[in-house]
Structure 1
Amino acid sequence: MNGITLLSTFNTTTWPQWSLWGTTTSISRYRYNHNVKSLSSSTPSPSSEAEAGVNGKLRRALLEQVDKELSRGDDRAALSLINDLQSKPGGLRCFGAAQQVPQRLYTINELKLNGIETASLLSPKDTTLGAIERNLQIAAFLGFISAWNVFDFGPEELVYISLPIFFLWTLDLVAFAGGLSSLVLDTIGHNISQKYHNRVIQHEAGHFLIAYLLGILPKGYTLSSLEAFQREGSLNVQAGTVFVDFEFTDQISAGRVTATMLNKFSCIALAGVATEYLLYGYAEGGLTDVNTLDGLLNSLGFTQKKADSQVRWAVLNTILILRRHERARINLANAMSAGKSVGSCIDVIEENIDEIDLMIS
């Protein structure tokens, strides 16, 4: 299926925006810098280094240039730098270098033989935040009853208290699509549940790692709704990882998606739930990821059988890549938790993957 162009019949004006863990990357035009600086323009390149290839120190200096281009919003320039560095000996060995399983129809039993229970992976349910939300509702109700008894509220006082609360709740649903309540709940979850906090970090590390190993450049990430709000200034943006995806959006605009690109984004979409499954035995976050992939396949006119085949291959491929590069994922998650830049996270991946890990075992 690789290399075959899939012609779609979807309407690009109603195309669902690509989102990972709730963060939306809008379909927009990216400017192209035709005067991209050469990789050696701002960093020393002694002849000995040129002969021996790129060492770790020089690679980190060059990745700082990538961070600068991403911060300017020049995604094409950043990707050009990555591709240039990838072509140099000792540069970026791992970008787009993941070994993948052959693409064919895999049965449920074949996935089980590889230790994969799709029901625990493809039907995420956030029980942690659900429990926190229920406890908050119970606490609020008990607090309301206590205040009623202590202050002896009458019917008028109850109306005065209830109306503002109902108004704020309705405003949040209508104006922000529940973004304000999600932000509050997510913030509380990060502060009182270490499990929830760690799960989000691991989830995003999975997205980041799989994207990079498949040749899609991450451009940024956030690990909480509050961080996303501070960065984007919108309540409708949640925590997540965004990518340099102009090639994908260009194909969407043209009304067709190649099988190669579809394969990459299928695996990236499922990378978060796959990471949670490997660590905890089930996935809680990532329902938006699964639904987005379903929407993509439906828009491309896939039959249910063909969609199931695509998803099963992507699940198996993603799980095996994550298992093979567990050390890189662990250290990447630590770097993301510390708020490291995209370039620094890429350097962590490169430092924690050996040549033999990129070969088919």
Structure 2
Amino acid sequence: MNMILHLSKPATLTAFHHQCKYKNSFKLPQIKASSFSAAPGVDLNTLQSAVAKKDSNAVKEALDQLSEEGWAKKWSSQPYVSRRRLTLEFIVNQTSLRELTSLGIKNAENLAIPSVRNDAAFLFTVVGTTGFLGVLAGQLPGDWGFFVPYLIGSISLIVLAVGSISPGLLQAAIQGFSSFFPDYQERVARHEAGHFLIAYLLGLPILGYSLDIGKENVNLIDERLEKLIYSGQLDAKELDRLAVVAMAGLAAEGLQYDKVIGQSADLFTLQRFINRSKPQLSKDQQQNLTRWAVLFAGSLIKNNKAIHEALMEAMTKKASVVECIEAIENAA
């Protein structure tokens, strides 16, 4: 699951489209009949309208108002995110890994290593299947026993050639194939719920999400941040916030699984944010930021485990954004 948080085009939003080796697309899910009920006396119509209009300022205002009324208690409940400044390379490389392991992140030292599980499984399946069919086709009579195995065998060669020259062309097939893994849907829900929950806790409005194959994403919006990103003027404070949200999916997976599948695109997106920040960070500082962001996001997810699980359940049922927010607040 390579997750990409990636920016939408101009002037309305900063959209985090998270892709777990998935296609780069976004579709706001249709509002379905609610399976969650609002608390008595709580009017969510204003919030629902703001989300439907994709108005980030209106969403923030509605949630701020609900927070003042005592309902949206988790909204922006973690507004202050501050990175620790570690200067010694030994501390950066050793302490952070120990802390990640202590938090419960499995195989912390391998978090930044891209997973090839889905790619390898797809290629092995193609080669194995075509090889088996080629052997069977060799039993055909006459010239068919020669040409058919040859044609079948060429399929593997073509797939391997395309994978070597232009691997992106195989992503649709690999994405579809990866859905056969028994942990696929749970991984996707856990990963996307991590992004959703952390963004909500940090006060970033959410306008949509999807768990559909090839369209997995969470769409986060903040017009002020968007301007800073496109101008290349992200300061350390805002970079820290975006880093924590970017690493939230990776952290959510790392707390549950021995191997994280959806980290590559998230790391790529974090690098894009780093490249648009000032002052520029050294390689050691970038590594420290990445590990710190995983640690911070993982701590929030672990401390809000019941909420994260409730949000996962809601998202799996294709609840609307407002219903997902209700799931967060009701679980809190």
Query: Shorter chain as normaliser: what TM range?
Result: 0.7 to 0.9
Match of residue 303, structure 2, among 324, 328, 345: 324
> How do residues 168-179 of structure 1 correspond to structure 2 at under 5 angstroms?
177-178=168-169
Over 3 Å counting, the alpha-carbon distance change for 1:167 and 1:258 in structure 2 is same
Determine if contact 1:66/1:78 at 8 Å carries over to the other structure: yes
Q: Deviations over 1:39-80 (max 9, x none)?
A: xxxxxxxxxxxxxxx95552444443243223xxx4443334
Match of residue 171, structure 2, among 182, 185, 194: 182
CA distance in 2, matches of 1:136, 1:297: 38
Determine if contact 2:232/2:276 at 8 Å carries over to the other structure: no
CA distance in 2, matches of 1:175, 1:128: 17
Q: What TM-score does the superposition give when structure 1 sets the normalisation length?
A: 0.69
How many Å apart are 1:109 and its aligned residue? Answer: 2.0
Structure 1 position 96 matched with structure 2 position 96 = no
- The share of aligned pairs that are identical, in percent, is 23
Determine if contact 1:124/1:282 at 8 Å carries over to the other structure: no
- The alignment yields a C-alpha RMSD, in angstroms, of 3.5
Over 3 Å counting, the alpha-carbon distance change for 1:165 and 1:259 in structure 2 is same
How many Å apart are 1:175 and its aligned residue? Answer: 9.8
CA distance in 2, matches of 1:266, 1:224: 25
Task: Show the counterpart of 2:133.
Answer: 143
CA distance in 1, matches of 2:276, 2:144: 55
Task: Show the counterpart of 1:347.
Answer: 326
CA distance in 2, matches of 1:346, 1:338: 14
Structure 1 position 215 matched with structure 2 position 203 = yes
CA distance in 1, matches of 2:158, 2:117: 28
Determine if contact 1:183/1:225 at 8 Å carries over to the other structure: no
Over 3 Å counting, the alpha-carbon distance change for 1:78 and 1:140 in structure 2 is farther
Task: Show the counterpart of 2:16.
Answer: none
CA distance in 2, matches of 1:251, 1:317: 23
Over 3 Å counting, the alpha-carbon distance change for 1:158 and 1:127 in structure 2 is closer
SS of the aligned residue for 2:140 comes to helix
The residue type equivalent to 2:66 in the other structure is: L
CA distance in 2, matches of 1:127, 1:62: 44
Q: How many residues align?
A: 295
> How do residues 286-325 of structure 1 correspond to structure 2 at under 5 angstroms?
286-300=263-277, 301-325=280-304
Determine if contact 2:134/2:148 at 8 Å carries over to the other structure: no
Determine if contact 1:203/1:276 at 8 Å carries over to the other structure: yes
Determine if contact 1:24/1:242 at 8 Å carries over to the other structure: no
Q: Deviations over 1:220-265 (max 9, x none)?
A: 2222334x2xxxxxxxxxx222211432221122230122221111
Question: Which runs of no fewer than 5 residues in structure 2 stay unpaired?
Answer: 14-37
CA distance in 2, matches of 1:223, 1:307: 30
CA distance in 2, matches of 1:271, 1:259: 18
Task: Show the counterpart of 2:182.
Answer: 194
SS of the aligned residue for 2:219 comes to strand
How many Å apart are 1:162 and its aligned residue? Answer: 7.9
Determine if contact 2:205/2:220 at 8 Å carries over to the other structure: yes
Task: Show the counterpart of 2:253.
Answer: 276
Q: What TM-score does the superposition give when structure 2 sets the normalisation length?
A: 0.75
Over 3 Å counting, the alpha-carbon distance change for 1:166 and 1:118 in structure 2 is closer
Task: Show the counterpart of 1:69.
Answer: 53
Structure 1 position 82 matched with structure 2 position 63 = yes
How many Å apart are 1:25 and its aligned residue? Answer: 3.7
Over 3 Å counting, the alpha-carbon distance change for 1:147 and 1:82 in structure 2 is farther
Match of residue 85, structure 2, among 88, 91, 105: 105
CA distance in 2, matches of 1:144, 1:210: 50
